[in-house]
Amino acid sequence: MPRAALLLASATALLAPQSTIKQTRRHSTTLNPLEQLAEQAQIKAYEASAAAIAATISAKVAEKGDRMPDGMVPIVQEFMRTYLDVVAKQKRDPMEKVPVLKEYLGLVEDQLDEPFVFAPYHEAWTEENGAPIDHLKMDTAFMEPMLDPNDSVLLGSERVKDIEALLAKGDNVVLLSNHQTEADPSCWSFALHENHERLERDMIMVAGDRVTTDVVAVPFSKARNLLCIYSKRHIDNPPEEKPKKMRHNAKTMTAMLRLFKGGGKCIWVAPSGGRDRPNSDGVYTPAAFDPKSVEMFRLMSAKAADKTTHFYPVAMMTHRLFPPPKTLTPGALGEPRRAIRGSVNIAIGEPIDFDEVTRAGCLVDDFPPGCVEDREDAAQVAAEYAHLQVSQLYADLVKDAKDRGSPYYSADRY
């Protein structure tokens, strides 16, 4: 079947309605004028407290400026200032979050003193895994005021149980997803923790080098199971380190194959190779998938033929939490961070049968049976098909946000 016809035909499979699981919403109450004045005064007091705490933190961060990478001091200062402002605007005492901020900043300082080098496959630093500091617990406490449970959705939630059943029998699952914020792993924890904690803790994320080298990101990255890889954007910079980075990536591929062969693994990956960026109108849509990335996961599943691998398309609408820079700066690892409260919006689609999608092309010689040797075209079709499904799921999230009147993802922020 010609590629265009194949993709057009596949679109019909995307139109089935997705089930929605929403958290219980708070019912707004009307305050009398005196209560409104009291509430406003309380918020002003909390905002003043937040500003004072932020000023103290900023001064301490500035004292360590000579130990930080160039430009990092204002990044950390703005991160802490906006985070505390988020807490205050929820009518909460910012002092509640001082303990977790102290813990987080202490972990940043540890990274400055003794930079942690992530292995090709990094296992989460949690109490369960014997780590001296439970980074997942820190991550959860830190992110709590950022994530609004009353406006969060998980479309296709019934598929989480399907995925858990597949993992329980030793199959592998790959979640082919778009990616919008460095907090996306935290968003998965938020979505899964209440009813699917085992999956939350066991999920493996494919991580680029920015989140494993940026001192601001490392304390959070340690909280996750990671397959660490140097992205196309950074592998050539600086040129003299390219051979070392390529060797590291080769070790990551070996580790990944070992995980696939072991079975029972769930891996989340963004085949675009990075976060979605807004267009000139400020609108976000899922970035195109790299055919080589999708093909690599299909090849891994073929090499681990004793274990069946299932591919699920996933859409995430999360960019408000830590909006990514509007433009890419190759080679730049430090970036501004502005904390904004938002909701978690995830949609999981029906599994993809890539053998059917790429029936005309071979992944490896004579596989799948009866295929025609045109692997490059097959890889392109597979990537386009997966991206098409994710794009439709993203459209479902946008529609759901509009229908429910999301306070975070209004018409000018999608």
76 and 123 share one domain: no
- Could you say which of 115, 136, 159 is where a domain stops? 115
220 and 367 share one domain: yes
- Cα Dmax for the chain: 77
Amino acid at residue number 111: Q
192 and 64 share one domain: no
164 and 78 share one domain: no
Determine the pLDDT at residue 368: 65
For the stretch 235-266, what's the b/e string if a residue is b when 16 or more beta carbons lie within 10 angstroms of its beta carbon? Answer: beeeeeeeeebeebbeebeebbeebbeebebb
Which residue range(s) make up the domain with 81?
A: 33-115
Determine the pLDDT at residue 361: 63
Determine the pLDDT at residue 30: 79
157 and 82 share one domain: no
Residue 94 main-chain phi, psi, to 5 deg: -60, -20
- Unique residue bearing structure tokens 């429910």: 404
Q: Check which CATH number belongs to the domain holding 191 and give it.
A: 3.40.1130.10
- Could you say which of 115, 146, 168 is where a domain stops? 115
70 and 127 share one domain: no
Is residue 168 situated within a structural domain? yes
Determine the pLDDT at residue 26: 44
Is residue 178 situated within a structural domain? yes
Is residue 24 situated within a structural domain? no
d(CA 359, CA 9): 14
Is residue 20 situated within a structural domain? no
237 and 104 share one domain: no
d(CA 380, CA 389): 14
162 and 303 share one domain: yes
52 and 195 share one domain: no
d(CA 151, CA 351): 26
Determine the pLDDT at residue 263: 98
288 and 160 share one domain: yes
> Domain count of the chain?
2
Is residue 21 situated within a structural domain? no
Determine the pLDDT at residue 196: 98
What is the mean pLDDT of each successive set of 10 residues along the chain, which is 414 residues long? Answer: 43 40 50 84 95 97 92 95 97 97 97 96 97 97 98 98 98 98 97 97 96 95 97 81 92 98 98 92 94 96 96 98 71 74 98 88 66 77 97 97 91 53
Residue among 226, 211, 145, 209 at smallest CA distance from 181: 211
Determine the pLDDT at residue 292: 94
What does the DSSP assignment read for 244-301? HHHHHHHHHHHHHHHHHHH---EEEE-TTSS-----TTS---PPPPPHHHHHHHHHHH
Determine the pLDDT at residue 34: 82
Is residue 409 situated within a structural domain? no
111 and 121 share one domain: no
- Could you say which of 115, 146, 179 is where a domain stops? 115
Determine the pLDDT at residue 281: 86
Residue among 225, 324, 237 at smallest CA distance from 272: 324
Determine the pLDDT at residue 234: 74
* CA angle, residues 354, 360, 361, in degrees to nearest 5: 70
Is residue 247 situated within a structural domain? yes
Is residue 15 situated within a structural domain? no
147 and 210 share one domain: yes
Determine the pLDDT at residue 397: 97
